[in-house]
Structure 1
């Protein structure tokens, strides 16, 4: 049965904390998953959260800290001493420990690392913190199981037992040479059925996917997704094995990238959430809102230049929102498909072939919609030339909007700019302006004004 945070649960929890009934609190959380406890800490007061963190053992609270909302975790870490934080990260995998310590100021980072009892852990964390953000090095964990190709199966089994106790999940066994260079991988099945005196080199597979320590984390995610990997080893420029990246870390990368792309598509220039300050939210939103304002002014100037058209065919004015809306919608649809394809590495072939396909698709959709609009305008206004002008304009506007929505993200991607920026107000505004301009030009041409 799934754990549920109810008002009764929170009320009971507060009463236990007020009465300092530590035994009852320990029993209460003994069967609760650390991810659920993290949700509880987000619901209670700050003082109550600190009380719970300091009450539970470090083995459990270390897991809780990794699941907490960043703002909540920052506040909790700020109330803990360097030694208390060191006790917590001492129970974590190196990648999680580095992430937690990386959120602290440089001064606190040094104090926490110096307070660690395990010198090897301290060295590993320092190494992970030295890598640039958004790289495989910053994402990897140092815990892994590796064996030397010269070992025998019997010797390998003994050494694996010693290594595996520090590894949460053993996805793969990596084989290295005497210089610690990655040369292959070993399956547990092959290890178990092999003869005890066989060399590891004789039973290992020399094909193994790996990523460079400086590889972009999004590229790592693409590789692991493409080859359906649960873990992938990380090597340096000399192919020396440094660590491994597991699928749970990649899920976090994909989630963060999806959140970022969603916000960019919505017209937010920074990574923000609903709890941020009004000033932060304003900074994130105002650039794209200003772009929309500029687009509106541009549409006004265009429409003002076609006053002679309005004076003879006032109905054209009332169909302007429809044309602008269709242009914006088609552009966003086209760009969203392309951006998704680029993110999943599914967009292949030349830009020209993509544009041709989108033009044919837009033309088909435009004709279908225009036929409906033609008969509606003809029946409603009783003017076949007006119906032809509006429906023909719609076809051309949809084709142009589809081409813009396809070309812009492909162009941005070629220039190394995140194409997600194209799916929001940028495409909508540009298509609104072009759509209105094309609409009146075609209408003026057909109506002979």
Structure 2
């Protein structure tokens, strides 16, 4: 979306050229219209929405940035939100929109929804935690009974399909609404008309429960290459489905959140956020880093006599601190990634720590040996720095590797997001411990 196009739209809005704007927007994808609206002021965005048909307007709203969308919805009457947007959305999308509103406005919007059945489904879905399968599922799906004949099944499928935009799977239930299987659409063509659904369905489909954490849902869909997954309640009744596009958004948000945590941001921020929000997101870890730096200076301040006797030791302070931080971040990043994709289980903590120790031993040996050779050539075999730096580097790499492995796994057991262990926390801790090791070893060798 280039600046020239956006400026053209803004001029047309000022001139109230509604018909021209409708023509320009007609062939645009909802995601492109949402990108355009993000560049406009609220009143300009409101004018753009007035030129869209109801279905397109609903799709555009879903594509908008969450903060901009909430700000926009706060300007609109509850009746408009219900009849202009919610009435044209699937239940899972409607829940996503309504959940961002305050409780009073939620009730107002629900009271204006014309389809009572849809309103009831939305109310039921709002009861689920948004971090679970129930909080992300939709109720629009094609469902058939296992005892139906093929002609009866085909007739019912046609009726249900008329109300759906996409059909991913046809789900099979028994008389008690419990999920029994998935009905491949190919069977409609290849199976004899006398067959019952239960004779041709694929039994025991992969499913998740309503209380399954959404990150487990994402892993299941990824593992089995599914485009949708059924959701069942505690007694196995089919209550909804989650599509891959729903979890893709959630997966992206999780990745962004983990990346920001690892970067030392205490909350989710965007480039468009206010100066105050960006400052409050960055400042906590910067303050912690500042105190870590002060602690380091206090440690070093206790070794003035050591620096006086061996001034060359100061040259290697950045090397010791930087190496410890890098090694710790590498180790913790591998663990966090393994925990996220379930390739590493918390119960394997000691097994993985042992493996990490072997890797650390190899790395530490190579790094310390190279530094020893350099210092041997520069300072000679009798200089304290030749030995203290190499031994300190070896110790720091070993400590940082083990520490970077154990911390995220411990946080995972404590139900704390382990992503924070890949950022400033590891770097600051390793920096302080590294300086203590460096100074301690130097004193012992002096």
Deviation of the 1:278 alpha carbon:
3.7
Deviation of the 1:74 alpha carbon:
1.9
Q: Partner of 2:75 in structure 1?
A: 79
Deviation digits for residues 363-405 of structure 1, max 9, x if unmatched?
2122222222222223333454421221121111111111111
What is the distance in 2 between the residues matched to 1:405 and 1:80? 49
Deviation digits for residues 192-211 of structure 1, max 9, x if unmatched?
21111211111112121111
Contact 1:191 1:203 in 2 (8 A): no
Deviation of the 1:410 alpha carbon:
1.2
**Pairing 1:244–2:241 present:** yes
What is the distance in 1 between the residues matched to 2:350 and 2:51? 63
CA distance change for structure 1 residues 282 and 19 in 2, over 3 Å: closer, same or farther? Answer: closer
Q: Partner of 2:204 in structure 1?
A: 207
Deviation digits for residues 174-223 of structure 1, max 9, x if unmatched?
10011111111111112321111211111112121111111111111111
Q: Partner of 1:320 in structure 2?
A: 317
What is the distance in 1 between the residues matched to 2:41 and 2:281? 29
Q: Partner of 1:260 in structure 2?
A: 257
What is the distance in 2 between the residues matched to 1:16 and 1:274? 28
What is the distance in 1 between the residues matched to 2:87 and 2:400? 55
Counterparts of 1:366-445 in structure 2, within 5 Å, are: 366-385=364-383, 386-445=385-444
Question: After the TM superposition, which of the residue ranges 311-320 and 19-28 deviates more from structure 2?
Answer: 19-28
Question: After the TM superposition, which of the residue ranges 374-383 and 204-213 deviates more from structure 2?
Answer: 374-383
Deviation of the 1:305 alpha carbon:
2.6
Deviation digits for residues 263-294 of structure 1, max 9, x if unmatched?
11111222222333444334333332232123
Deviation digits for residues 131-163 of structure 1, max 9, x if unmatched?
112111110011011100111110011111111
Contact 1:265 1:420 in 2 (8 A): yes
Q: Partner of 2:360 in structure 1?
A: 362
Q: Partner of 2:219 in structure 1?
A: 222
What is the distance in 2 between the residues matched to 1:68 and 1:266? 25
Q: Partner of 1:29 in structure 2?
A: 25
**Pairing 1:193–2:168 present:** no
What is the distance in 1 between the residues matched to 2:365 and 2:162? 66
Q: Partner of 1:65 in structure 2?
A: 61
Question: After the TM superposition, which of the residue ranges 223-232 and 373-382 deviates more from structure 2?
Answer: 373-382
Deviation of the 1:302 alpha carbon:
2.0
What is the distance in 2 between the residues matched to 1:443 and 1:18? 73
CA distance change for structure 1 residues 258 and 153 in 2, over 3 Å: closer, same or farther? Answer: same
Deviation of the 1:438 alpha carbon:
1.1
**Pairing 1:44–2:48 present:** no
Q: Which runs of 4+ in 1 moved over 6 A?
A: none
Question: After the TM superposition, which of the residue ranges 426-435 and 192-201 deviates more from structure 2?
Answer: 192-201
CA distance change for structure 1 residues 252 and 157 in 2, over 3 Å: closer, same or farther? Answer: same
Deviation of the 1:112 alpha carbon:
1.3
Q: Partner of 1:344 in structure 2?
A: 341
What is the distance in 2 between the residues matched to 1:47 and 1:284? 29
SS at match of 2:202: coil
CA distance change for structure 1 residues 283 and 17 in 2, over 3 Å: closer, same or farther? Answer: closer
What is the distance in 1 between the residues matched to 2:205 and 2:422? 37
Deviation of the 1:86 alpha carbon:
1.1
CA distance change for structure 1 residues 238 and 281 in 2, over 3 Å: closer, same or farther? Answer: same
SS at match of 1:319: helix
Counterparts of 1:299-318 in structure 2, within 5 Å, are: 299-318=296-315
SS at match of 2:411: helix
What is the distance in 1 between the residues matched to 2:11 and 2:309? 77
Deviation of the 1:32 alpha carbon:
0.7
**Pairing 1:120–2:117 present:** yes
Tell me the matched-pair count.
443
Counterparts of 1:176-187 in structure 2, within 5 Å, are: 176-187=173-184
SS at match of 1:142: coil
Report the TM-score, using the length of structure 1 for normalisation.
Answer: 0.95
What is the distance in 2 between the residues matched to 1:242 and 1:28? 41
Q: Partner of 2:169 in structure 1?
A: 172
Q: Partner of 2:15 in structure 1?
A: 19
Question: After the TM superposition, which of the residue ranges 33-42 and 367-376 deviates more from structure 2?
Answer: 367-376
